[in-house]
Structure 1
C-alpha cells in the first residue's frame, strides 16, 4: 500500500489518520466466494439463489450505518439496495452496482474447490473471483473503512447488489427498474463491471480499458420440424438434417467488421501506445495490431463485429427414430447500431425451414468517454499507478448496465485491478480456476476510495 493511501494530507498539511480502504477486501471477497450463488439460468432449476449472499451484504451495510432494502421477485432471488449519503447531499447520486450471482462451476474440472475461497500463489481462487464478487468486495471494504472514519463519499451513492445478472437480469436489475424505479431517483451515472483492469502494452505503460459500451444480446432457439419416421428408411424431411445445416451456416458465417466509436477510440489508444500506424478501416491491419495484445485480443476481437455461436443442440430420443423436431440454442451478440443487420443475417442463414425464437434479448449501449466522472476515473487510477492510462472500450458481453440504461442512466464499467502481464484475465470470466491476485483486489479498493472523493 502506498504511504499516501494510508495517511492522506489535509489542506492544513497535517496527516489524517484514516482506516485503510483495502484492509478487508480480500476477506470479504473470500466470504462471498464461499457462499454458493450459482445461477443455472432459465429452465434449468433455480439453484441456491442469492439470498444468503444478500443477507451477508446487508449485514455489512447495516454495520456501516446504512439501511439496506431487500427485494425478492421470487423466493431466494434477492437483491440488496442501500443509499449512502454524501458530503454534498444536493449532488446527483451515483449508482454503484455489482451482481451477487455466478455461473455454475463443476468442481471436478478445477484444481481447487471453486467455493472454498482458497488463497495460493498470491491469488484468491473461486467462482466469482473476477465475475464479480471482487468488485462487490472492493466497494464493501471501502464502505467499512469510510464508516469507521466518518468519511462520506463526495456525493450520495446508491449501492445495488443484484440477483440474476448471469441469466439476463430479469429477476434482478430489470425487475428493479420495472417495479421499483424510485430507488434510483436522481441517478444519471453508474459504475459497475467490466472495466478498469490493466493491460500491459509496454514496460512503462499499462492501459486500463473502461467500458463505455456493450454489445446487445439475442439468445435464440432455432427450431426445425420434419416428418418423424423409422431410422432405417429414406427421409427427405429430416428435422435434424435441416437444423444441422442451419447451425453449420451460422457457425461458419464471417461477420463483417463494424467499428463503433468506442472501438475506434480504443484502437487509436493502442496504436499510440504501441507506436504503430494503424489503419482502422483495414480488417487485417486491425487484427494484426490486436494480436500484439496477447490473450485479451480475443475479447477485443469480439467487439469488431456481430457474433453468433451455437451453444446447445437437442434432438431425438432413440437411435432408430427420426424425430419430428430438433432445436438448437444460439448466443448472438450485436454491436451498437448493428441489431437490424444481425437479425436479417440470421434469418437469411437459417432459411425457410427453421424457425427463430428469441429467448433473451437486450439492447446494445454506448456512451461518450468524457465528463467529470471519467476524469475522476482517470485521476484515481493514475494516483495509484502513475504508469497507467484509462481508455474507452466496447465490452464483449452484457451487464446490468443494460437495465439501468432504460432509465437514462449513463453506465460505465470501472472495477479497477492492476494485473500481472502474464495473467489471462479474460479467460477467468466463466472459466475454470477463476482467480484474482490479492494485491489487485487491494489496488482496486484504494482506487475506489480515491474515486469516491472525486466522482
Structure 2
C-alpha cells in the first residue's frame, strides 16, 4: 500500500465534464436520457480497472452499477452502497449568467446545472475511487457504486425500478450514503454544523378531481366543477398543519439552540433561525406535513362550464404521519372533490448512531477542526426511498465545507447553480478518509 495520494486532484475537472453532459429530466412526457453520462462514468471507472453494468428500464434511461471489492478490503463485511443520480432538472439558459451546461469554472466555483444536485458528489466519488485504485489503497469494506436515472422525476425508471427488477444488486448492502447531507452550516466563528440526513419526508403527488355538470357559461350552475375545486384548493392552501417534530428534527433544533444560545419557537422557527440564511426555510418545511397546490386544469372555452376540473398537489408527510396526512386531505376536499394518487413514496428514517455515524464525525473533524455532525430531516425526497424498502439504512452524506455567505439551499434547482471548487476538494478528502473507516 502506498502513502495517501491526492483524492481531490481531478474532482473539479470531473465535475465540469459531468455538467457538460446534458441529462435534463423533463419527466415521463418529455425527452431525457442519462446514457451518455452513464457511459462516461463507466469509461472513467474502466480506466482504473473497475467494470460496470448498465441497466435500462426504457431507452437511454440508464442506471450504472459497479462492484468494487479490491484485494485488501474486508470481504466478510457487507458492501457499503454509495449512490448518486445522473439526471438534472432542466435549465433555461437565458436566465443564467453562464451557459448552464458548460461546466465553467468561474470565481472559484464550478457553475452549471447539477453542480450541487448532484454531479458534485458524483464527481467526488469518482475522483476518490480512481485515486485509491491508482495508489493501491483499498477501502475497509466492499463498495457498491450505483448511479441512477430519473431521480428528479420520482425514480420510477431509476432506483425504484432497480429495487423491483434487480433487488439482488442491493440486497447485500446494509448501509448507504448519498444526497442530501454532509454540508456545512456556519453558526459561530468557531463552529460549523454538518447536517447529516437521517430522515426524509414521504411524498404524495395527488390529482384533485372535481366532477360537475357541463353547461353554458351564461347560465346558473350549482354543480360547477371549477367552483368546487377552487374551494377545495383554497382550503388546503390555507390549512395550518399541526407541528409534528421528528426526533432528527428535534436533535437539529437542540444543536442550533445550544450553538446560538437561543430558544427556538416552533411557531416561528423560520424567524428564529433567520441568521442561518435560507436553510431556515428547509427547517420550517419539516416542522409539519405540507400540501401545496401546484397545477390547475379546467375548461376549453370561456363561455363553457367544464364537466371536470383538476388540480395538482405536492404533499409531503413526516415519518409516522402518513395516515394523518391523507385523512386531513380527505376532510379538506369535502364531498364534491376526490383525489387520485399520481406518485406516492414512503417516508424514510434511521437513527443517528452507530459506527458509520462515528466515522462521519471523525472524518469531518480530521479535515475541519470546527466540525460537528448533527442529524436532520429533509423536506424533499431522494433515491433512499427505494433502497430503504430493502432494509438499507440510508444517510445523506455528501460532504461539503461551504462559505458562510453561500445561499446553498437556493442552489438546488436554482438559477446560477454552482459549487465552490474548494468545497469539492474538501468533500473528496473527507470521503477518502471515510472509506478507510466506514
TM range (shorter): over 0.9
* 1:428 is aligned to 2:414: no
Structure 2 matches for 1:309-348, cutoff 5 A? 309-348=292-331
Q: 2:140 aligns with which of 154, 170, 177?
A: 154
How many residues in Structure 1 have an aligned counterpart in Structure 2?
Answer: 436
Structure 2 matches for 1:138-217, cutoff 5 A? Answer: 138-217=124-203
Tell me how far apart the structure 2 counterparts of residues 248 and 109 of structure 1 sit (CA, whole Å).
31
Equivalence for 1:242:
228
Q: 1:37 corresponds to which residue?
A: 23
Aligned pairs for 1:214-293 within 5 A = 214-278=200-264, 283-284=266-267, 286-293=269-276
2:373 to 365, 379, 390: 390
The structure 2 residue matched to 1:303, chosen from 286, 310, 315, is: 286
Partner of 1:3: none
1:130 paired with 2:116, answer yes
Post-superposition offset of 1:89: 1.4
Q: Within 5 Å, give how 1:395-410 maps onto structure 2.
A: 395-410=378-393
Q: After superposition, what is the alpha-carbon deviation per residue over 1:154-206, rounded to whole angstroms, capped at 9, x for unaligned?
A: 10000000011111111011111111111124210000000000001001111
- Please give the secondary structure, in 2, of the residue aligned with 1:377: helix
Give me the TM-score of the superposition, normalised by structure 2. Answer: 0.97
Cα displacement (A) at 1:277? 4.3
Query: For residues 44-96 of structure 1, what are the alpha-carbon distances to aligned partners after superposition, in whole Å with 9 as ceiling and x for unaligned?
Result: 22x23111100001111111211101000111010000011151111111000
Cα drift, residue 18 of structure 1: 3.6
- The question of 1:120 aligning with 2:103 is answered no
1:279-325 deviation line (CA, Å, top 9, x unaligned):
xxx52364543233221100011111000111111111122221111
Bigger shift: residues 160-169 or 112-121: 112-121
Identify which of 392, 403, 420 aligns with 1:437. 420
Greater shift in the superposed pair: 215-224 or 80-89 = 80-89
Summarize deviations over 1:95-124 as a string: whole Å, max 9, x none.
Answer: 000001111112222222111112212111
Establish whether residue 70 from structure 1 lines up as the match of residue 54 from structure 2. Answer: yes
Q: Secondary structure at the match of 2:61?
A: coil
Matches of 1:109 and 1:287 in 2, distance apart? 28
Counterpart CA distance in 1 for 2:234 and 2:22 is: 36
The CA distance in 2 between the partners of 1:285 and 1:40, in whole Å, is 36
CA displacement 1:213-242 (0-9 Å, x = unmatched): 000000001111111122222222211111
Q: CA deviation at 1:276?
A: 2.6
Q: Which deviates further from its counterpart, 23-32 or 223-232?
A: 223-232
> Cα deviations across residues 324-362 of structure 1 (Å, max 9, x unaligned)?
111111000000001011001111111111110100000
User: 1:83 aligned to 33, 54, 67, which one?
Assistant: 67
| SS of equivalent residue, structure 1 residue 393 | strand
5+ residue gaps, structure 1: 1-9, 11-15
In 2, the alpha carbon distance for the partners of 1:263 and 1:232 equals 53
Which residue matches 1:415? 398
Is the 1:290–1:301 Cα contact (8 Å) retained in structure 2? no
In 2: Cα distance, 1:40 partner to 1:354 partner:
29
Verify the 8 A CA contact 2:26 2:32 in the aligned structure 1.
Answer: no
In structure 2, what is the equivalent of residue 98 of structure 1?
Answer: 84
**Cα distance in 1 for residues equivalent to 2:82 and 2:148:** 11
Cα distance in 2 for residues equivalent to 1:35 and 1:288: 40
1:23 and 2:6 equivalent? no
Question: Superposition pairs for residues 441-452 of structure 1, below 5 Å?
Answer: 441-452=424-435
What SS class does the counterpart of residue 213 from structure 1 fall into?
strand
- CA 88–277 in structure 1, closer or farther in 2 if over 3 Å, else same: same
SS of structure 1 residue aligned to 2:161 = helix
Question: 1:81 touches 1:160 (CA, 8 Å); kept in 2?
Answer: yes
- For 1:183 and 1:112, the matched residues in 2 are separated by 39
User: Contact conserved, 1:271 with 1:289, CA < 8 A, in 2?
Assistant: no
